[in-house]
Amino acid sequence: MTKSTMKVVKGVTAGAAAGAVVGYMGKNMTDNKKQLKKKAGKAMETFSEVVDTVNYMFK
């Protein structure tokens, strides 16, 4: 794949994951703050792993 296609795939993946995290956090704003921070941290960690995996697949 070309580098420009890889950039597009990374951008789409990042946008989808960011949207999912924002939607999840918005839905759960009624949770207490400690629990929300823990869930957001786990979501960001999972997102990071997904991006790393996608990046590895296209190398």
**First-to-last CA distance in the chain?**
9
Q: What is the pLDDT of residue 1?
A: 54
pLDDT in tens, 1-59: 567 777 888 788 878 877 777 777 776 665 567 777 787 788 888 888 888 887 777 76
Q: What is the pLDDT of residue 32?
A: 65
Total structural domains in the chain?
1
Q: What is the pLDDT of residue 22?
A: 76
45 vs 24: CA distance, rounded Å:
14
Sign of CA dihedral 5, 10, 11, 17: positive
Domain extent for 22: 3-57
